[in-house]
Amino acid sequence: MKQQLISRQATVDQVIQQQLAALPQDAPRLRDAMHHAALLGGKRIRPFLVYETGRMLGATDQQLTPAAAAIEYVHAYSLTHDDLPAMDNDALRRGQPTCHVAFDEATAILAGDALQTLAFEVLSQADQLSAECRIALIQQLSRASGYLGMCGGQAMDIAATDQQISLPQLKAIHSAKTGALIRAAVRMGAIIGNASAEVTGKLDNYAKAIGLAFQVQDDILDVTSDTKTLGKPQGSDSELNKSTYPVLLGLEGAQQHASSLLDEALHALQGLPYNSDNLAEFARFVVQRSR
Ligand code: IPE
Ligand code: IPE
Ligand code: MG
Ligand code: MG
Ligand code: MG
């Protein structure tokens, strides 16, 4: 799995590198900050899901690459803003100083904004895809990023800080702030691969389960891992008194929950008329990963 992630990472990094290098030099500090936010480290799991889902359905890498890059831009923007002093106020990301520390707050805000809009520019310009397909991709990604997805989830996360919340409320937060983009990655692969409604439904169930499991494991690692391995500050959640799965269920309860989400994900893949081994392997990686 690690090997596969690394080889996918190289493909998408090359594209991101080229796209950022093609930006004119008018605002070099902003361009450098975008490069810092998008390219220095990161697992590239959302591009991986776009590629693996699409490939499974018969799409080519050339068709899938714009969606893979676009979702990574949105993710990089979300991390850049998540780390800002007004949000989680973290100084380390992917083993590097966070964007606002390496540059400054205004530049980090703008880098996030510009990465976000670049995502949609890339999708709109992907002339290897039909106009209909491009619109469907833009719709998926914009929904998953905005009020109904990541931004709404981040707002709920902030509102739940220092609060006692219920498990259904926490599930709603995690499904939105992290799950939505992971669902969008799978959905975008399915759109490009022309999946039937039935296949899309099964893939959606898979994506919902791994999307939630991904954030459950992120919360677990905030407790159990260390800053060096994570490349971001261990204990950030408890320092901020965040609502997390380990807080609500205890560490073991959270681990059990992650493992039942893995079962759900694997179950959803059963009966797909395609070879879904890589997606199954990815689901295992989500709950076994150490960073
Ligand atoms: C971290 O995402 C933030 C969450 C949504 C949990 P990743 O764990 O995918 O971060 P990178 O891209 O690998 O750094
Ligand atoms: C953030 O969740 C998810 C995003 C939408 C960026 P976290 O705040 O837990 O992510 P990390 O732990 O800082 O990567
Ligand atoms: Mg956060
Ligand atoms: Mg954070
Ligand atoms: Mg976290």
What does the pLDDT average to over 89-95?
97
pLDDT score of 4: 76
Residue 137: pLDDT band (50, 70, 90) is very high
Torsion-angle region of 244 (φ positive above 0: left; ψ -120 to 50: alpha; else: beta)? beta
151-181 per-position pLDDT tens digit: 999 999 999 999 999 999 999 999 999 999 9
Q: How far is the CA of 266 from the centre of ligand 4 (A)?
A: 28
- Our CA angle for 34, 28, 38, nearest 5°, is 10
Domains and CATH numbers, the chain: 2-288 (1.10.600.10)
pLDDT in tens, 241-270: 999 999 999 999 999 999 999 999 999 999
Residues 181/71, Cβ–Cβ less than 8 Å? yes
Task: Catalogue the long-range contacts made by 266-274 (C-beta closer than 8 Å, 24 or more residues apart).
Answer: 268/202, 268/203, 268/205, 268/206, 268/209, 269/202, 269/206, 271/202, 272/199, 272/202, 272/203, 273/199, 274/56, 274/57, 274/199
Burial-class residue 198 by CB neighbours within 10 Å (0-12, 13-18, 19+). Answer: exposed
8 pLDDT band (50/70/90 cuts)? Answer: confident
pTM exceeds 0.95, yes or no: yes
Q: How far is the CA of 88 from the centre of ligand 3 (A)?
A: 5
Instruction: Give residue 75's pLDDT band: very low, low, confident or very high (50, 70, 90).
Output: very high
Q: Residue 6: what pLDDT?
A: 79
pLDDT one-digit tens code per residue, 186-241? 999 999 999 999 999 999 999 999 999 999 999 999 999 999 999 999 999 999 99
pLDDT above 90 for 1: no
Encoding tokens for residue 71? 């979702």
Distances (CA, A) of 124 to 20, 67, 134, 173, 285: 17, 10, 6, 30, 32
Query: ∠ CA(234), CA(160), CA(185), 5° rounding?
Result: 70
Residue among 43, 46, 79 whose CB has most ligand 2 atoms within 8 A, to mutate: 79
Residue 237 CA, ligand 5 centroid: distance in Å: 7
* pLDDT given for residue 22 in this prediction: 95
Strands 92-93 and 96-97: antiparallel
Contact by Cβ (8 Å): 72, 12? yes
Q: What is the pLDDT of residue 267?
A: 98
C-alpha closest to that of 284 among 230, 217, 228: 217
- E strand or H helix at 2, and its extent? helix 2-21
Identify the three-state secondary structure at position 164: coil
E-state strands within 194-264: none
Measured from the Cα of 76, ligand 1's closest atom is 12
User: Could you tell me what percent of the chain has a pLDDT over 90?
Assistant: 95
Are the C-beta atoms of residues 210 and 286 closer than 8 Å to each other? yes
Mean pLDDT on 97-105: 98
Residue with tokens 């997390």: 244
Which burial class, exposed, middle or buried, applies to 3 when counting CB atoms under 10 A from its CB (0-12, 13-18, 19+)?
exposed
- For ligand 2, atom 8: residue with the closest CA: 82
Q: How confident is the model at residue 271 (pLDDT cuts 50, 70, 90)?
A: confident
Distance in angstroms (rounded) separating the CA atoms of residues 37 and 53: 26
Give ligand 2 pocket residues (Cβ under 6 A).
78-79, 82, 88, 150, 154, 177-178, 218, 232
**Arithmetic mean of pLDDT over the chain:** 96
pLDDT number for residue 5: 78
